[in-house]
Amino acid sequence: MSRILSVSCMLLFFFLLLLFPSAAADGASAGILLWYRKILPVLLPFTLASRLMEASNIISFLPPAVGMAVLGWCCGYPMGAIWAAILVRNGKLTCRQGELLLPLCSQPSPMFLVGYLRTQAGGLEPLPLLAAAYLPPLLILLPLLCIYGKESNGKTEKTAGDLHILRIRDFENCWFASCRILLKIGAYVLVFSILIAILHPFLSEIPQGQPLLAGVLEMTTGIGLLADSGLPSPLCGSLGLFLVCFGGCSCIAQTLACLEDSPLTGKYFWKGKLLLASVSATFYYICQGGISFLL
């Protein structure tokens, strides 16, 4: 069944390219520019640094779950997935631990929330935005970090070895592995940007639903449409927060692509992200007086 579905999606995408060549070209240009200007400069250095830390065995001396959470939250998508794959691959976390932590540690960065979402959605207050985005996963994450931290302490004492001296060959391997991850991410950005460009004329017929429908595919596009949607401020902020915390199909695909070299499958990822995004959006909506607006 999954094979038939994947083949059908590929054929559909191919025919869409043939039917809408101009929109596909515009979408491809937008996707490449987005990847080149926004994603590559930010993510490549962190990915390379993570690979070098793995190659030098520094990760043996770091608390694995805490490090994954901090980097995943501070650096944004899909840094949490990259570190989950590294830690599971090196035996610092079990596969089950990695699967459970993955949706919790894959969060938008504070810079993206305050810098992009806040401005695009009409100047939202930063503190309620950050609280709504991070409190729900934090309340689940803290007990897990305590449990996994105790389990990993003994394991770290047994498995931590000497630091490895990095050679030119090691640096090259880390560089090529990092570039491979970024190219995968770029491919998904390209595909979903093309889909958004093709669907844009149809989505424009429903202006108030356009941000949600576009954002489910690619979150930055959906967030960019919020300002012109005419939605009330609490609902606009709540919808934007949902899109950012969920990540959209593009971010989910990018995250799963980062797990290919590890035993992780991401089987809980999209369900966990959907649940956390719904809770965060509801929490923000209530805090901003959305209930009183409805009444």
In a domain, 158, yes or no: no
Q: What is the pLDDT of residue 166?
A: 79
For 187, the domain range is 22-152+168-290
Q: How many CB atoms lie within 10 A of CB 81?
A: 29
Which residue type sits at 217?
A: L
In a domain, 1, yes or no: no
In a domain, 12, yes or no: no
Higher pLDDT, 130 or 210: 130
| Nearest CA-CA partner of 129 in 258, 255, 223, 25 | 223
Picking from 22-31, 141-150, 210-219, 265-274, which range would have the lowest pLDDT averaged per residue? 141-150
Answer yes or no: is pLDDT of 260 > 90: no
In a domain, 9, yes or no: no
b/e sequence 4-42, b meaning 16+ C-beta within 10 Å: eeeeeeeeeeeebbeebeebbebbbebbeebbeeebbeb
Mean pLDDT of the chain: 82
In a domain, 116, yes or no: yes
Answer yes or no: is pLDDT of 148 > 70: no
In a domain, 63, yes or no: yes
Alpha-carbon distance values, 196 to 21, 30, 182, 189 (Å)? 13, 10, 21, 10
Q: How confident is the model at residue 34 (pLDDT cuts 50, 70, 90)?
A: confident
Contact of 129 with 113, CB cutoff 8 Å: yes
Higher pLDDT, 94 or 120: 94
Q: What is the pLDDT of residue 115?
A: 78
In a domain, 255, yes or no: yes
Q: How many CB atoms lie within 10 A of CB 235?
A: 18
| pLDDT, average across residues 29-50 | 85
Helix and strand element counts for the chain (H, E) = 16, 0
Q: How confident is the model at residue 163 (pLDDT cuts 50, 70, 90)?
A: confident
Distance of CA 69 to the CA centre of its chain: 13
b/e sequence 90-108, b meaning 16+ C-beta within 10 Å: eebbbeebbbbbbbbbbbb
| Nearest CA-CA partner of 273 in 197, 234, 201, 219 | 219
Answer yes or no: is pLDDT of 250 > 80: yes
Answer yes or no: is pLDDT of 41 > 50: yes
Contact of 243 with 171, CB cutoff 8 Å: no
Answer yes or no: is pLDDT of 25 > 90: yes
Whole-angstrom distance, CA of residue 100 vs CA of residue 69: 12
Q: How confident is the model at residue 295 (pLDDT cuts 50, 70, 90)?
A: very low
* Number of domain units in the chain: 1
| pLDDT, average across residues 41-67 | 79
| pLDDT, average across residues 220-243 | 80
Whole-angstrom distance, CA of residue 41 vs CA of residue 44: 6
Q: How far separated are the first and last CA of the chain, in Å rounded?
A: 46
Q: What is the pLDDT of residue 273?
A: 92
| Nearest CA-CA partner of 23 in 217, 193, 250 | 193
Share of the chain above pLDDT 90, in %: 10
Each residue of 57-110: pLDDT tens digit? 776 677 777 778 887 888 788 888 888 888 888 888 889 888 988 998 888 888
Both tokens assigned to 105:
């540690």
In a domain, 275, yes or no: yes
